[in-house]
Amino acid sequence: MALERTFSIIKPDATARNLTGKVNAMIEAAGLRIVAQKRIRMTRGQAETFYAVHSARPFFGELVDFMTSGPVVVQVLEGEGAVAKYREVMGATDPSKADAGTIRKELALSIGENTVHGSDAPETAAIEIAQFFSGNEIVG
C-alpha cells in the first residue's frame, strides 16, 4: 500500500473536554504521522462547504451548528494506506456501534458529537486538505 494522506478534524466535543492530546496519541500509536495541524474556529460557511454532501440530510443544520460551536483542530495525517487506516482508528460513525479501542468508542458522546472526522477516500482527502491547508503548511 502506498504512502497516503488523509484529512482529520478533532471536533468541538473533544476540544471542549481537553482530549486533543489523547486523540493525537491514538493517531500516533496507529503509526500515522501528523504532518500538519492547526486549531481554528470554523465559520458557518466553512462548515457548510465542508459537509455540502450532507446538505439535504435532516441533521445538516445540527451538524453545522455543532461544528461551529467551538474550536476544532484540523490535521493532515500521513502513512501507508492512511485513509482506510484512520477510518479504522476512528471507528463507526455511531460510537455505540464502534469497535472497542477506537477513538469513537472510547471518547465520543453520540452520533453527532463523535469526536473526530476522517476522509472517506483519497479523492475526498485531497479536496478536504486543500480547503484548510496550503502546501507549505504540510511538512512530511
Burial 103-133 (b: 16+ CB within 10 A, else e): bbbbbbeeebbbbbbbbeeeeebeebbeebb
114 is a contact residue toward ligand DAT (CB under 6 A)? yes
75 is a contact residue toward ligand DAT (CB under 6 A)? no
Does 59 appear as a known binding residue?
yes
Tell me whether residue 117 is one of the annotated catalytic residues: yes
Does 18 appear as a known binding residue?
no
Does 50 appear as a known binding residue?
no
Q: Which residue is nearest to ligand DAT (CB)?
A: 93
Q: Give the C-alpha distances (Å, rounded to integers) separating 3 from 23, 33, 138.
A: 21, 11, 15
CB nearer ligand DAT, residue 24 or residue 114: 114
84 is a contact residue toward ligand DAT (CB under 6 A)? no
